Structure 1
Amino acid sequence: MPKHLVFHLAVTTAGAVIGLTAVSSTAEAAAPPLTHPRIVAHFDRPAGQVAESVIVRPNGSADVGLILSRQVAHVTLGGRVEVVATMPLPADGGVNTPGTGSAAVTGIERTGDGTLYFLYSAGDEYLTGLWKLRPGGKPERVAALPAASFLNGLARDDRTGNFYITDSTQGGVWQVGSHGGTAKLWAAGEDLAPTHFFGANGVKVHDGAVWISNIDRGTILRIPLTDTGTAGPHQVMAAGLDSVDDFAFTGRGDQLLAALNVPSELVLITPGKADRTVLDESDGLQNTTSVAVDGDTVYVASGALTTGGDANLLTAHLGHHD
């Protein structure tokens, strides 16, 4: 484990969780609790299987990006972890990977034909970028990104097929077309930049906008997609979120679940209501990294990067009532 990465994560504590700073006009249902949390898979943490991202398949199984082992894995319905790809090390062994000093597989997405798309950062111009993996195939890079980038979150706009990629070290959001090709810088600015470690982190496309978390600043931003596909004015939607990593919308307007890394918590954020911690260490979270919502089932990945404990995948039921 890179010692400086552990140090930087340990000091990323932006403060207490507070409510949304902008209240959506969308009528929200009462804040639903999470019930029946259970760990459904354990990753091989000593082998570097630090869970970083999760995407759900139609049958309820999941695909996960594993940072330090540079792997993409499938978690079966029975909880078996099957490695489907291991990325090659760069010539320097990954020590020049920005921010971490270790080559890393991060964000993951999946298209309807079963193709997985994922991010690989290696401090190497021939390896860093957006990759795809067809069922039964081998990984191939579809878009190159700068070697100086640590690519973190990945989201796909289902309407256009475009991909949005957060750059945690350079503090921006890249856009890549549905079939890959040349990446273009879609959004940048101080609110996406890091303050001492990582800036833009998680990303989702939701209700005509791209939403991004900033782990150093403890914020979640909303950037509208204009009619021409460019980035509109940035709006801070939540603040004071201690080391906020990934997040996911619950299906109830702008209500979302946010993974807080250092506190090992999952927080429910509902416009106009107080934030609510719905899962924590007592449920098995250890350095919470990512969250996905599939109907009434929530999937939460823990990396155990600084705790050194159990890297796992947990599921819980998203209720309809308080």
Structure 2
Amino acid sequence: MSTTINSFNGDQQQSSSSPDVGDLEKHYIDAKAFILSATTKDGINLYDHLAHCISQLLADQPREGTDLVEDISKTIKSEATPAQHDTLRDRPAPDSEHSLAAEQKPLFEKVDHSEELDDEALQSPLPHILEQAYYFEQAGIGLGKDESYRIWLALKQLADKGQIDKLRFWGKIFGTQKNYFIAEAEQNVDDETDENELHEEAHISDDNRHPNEEEMDDEEDMLPKSTYKPPPVVPKEERGTGANKYTYYVCNHPGGVWVKLPIVTPAQISQARLIKHYFTGDLNKEITSYPAYPGTERNYLRAQVARISATSSVSPAGKFKFSEVN
């Protein structure tokens, strides 16, 4: 009797521990539905992908099938994914060459001269730059034909904007970041207006102010006064005379904005002889040197232009004569 009861209890425990056939079928249907619903962006579901992987393994029957499952999966994915073909080219990343070409594009655009011009307006202040570049090239120096042509177009653009009597290309100065292209212009002094010069004059006058002596006398502890007197400030030459006879314009590349350099002072020329400084290409760059330089890089550039122009001037014998004093 006891044996029968034990066997009945064992069958009951076995039947209760094993899942029902209906539950297994339900779990199978739910799992298959999930695998079929799990799709990628390209529309490939997990069920088809696993079926392709297993079919590939059964067809090849490799010895190291476990290690090759990942490689087979990647290969099937790459073959099933459609290639992304586009008829349009990718937009190139902006670089210095494209930006420079965009800035130089206006140089090559044709200007419409619909208005009637007189004979004086038709006379160009530009010299024959291309002819001069040819002669320099014969001597083995120069900037090349392409750059000379761009410089000629840039000077022509400058001549069309202002009242300039004569204009020539002074030279090119290399910088650590950008270069300087310098143009020398001769124009009427009455037509020139420069707000920067007025601002610099006001700044210099503020720096030259001395403290009030009466305020110093009111101090309790008086320091010994220095008997040194600085030499008198040499007055600067007005525009159109001496070192400021010509007006200089500068840009970083042909097609860039022309910036007029300020007039140079004797103090700036004297200090330029005492220091050495690499040009950076930034006109507003402060110059850190000893002795301190009175101005920014635009003033230092103007001083060096004056020094180079004075040094490279050639005076043939008999060309200049002193006037006889009666």
Query: TM-score by structure 1 length?
Result: 0.24
Greater RCO, CA 8 A, separation 6+: 1
Structure holding more strand per residue? 1
- Give the TM-score normalised by the residue count of structure 2: 0.24
- Which of the two has greater helix per residue? 2
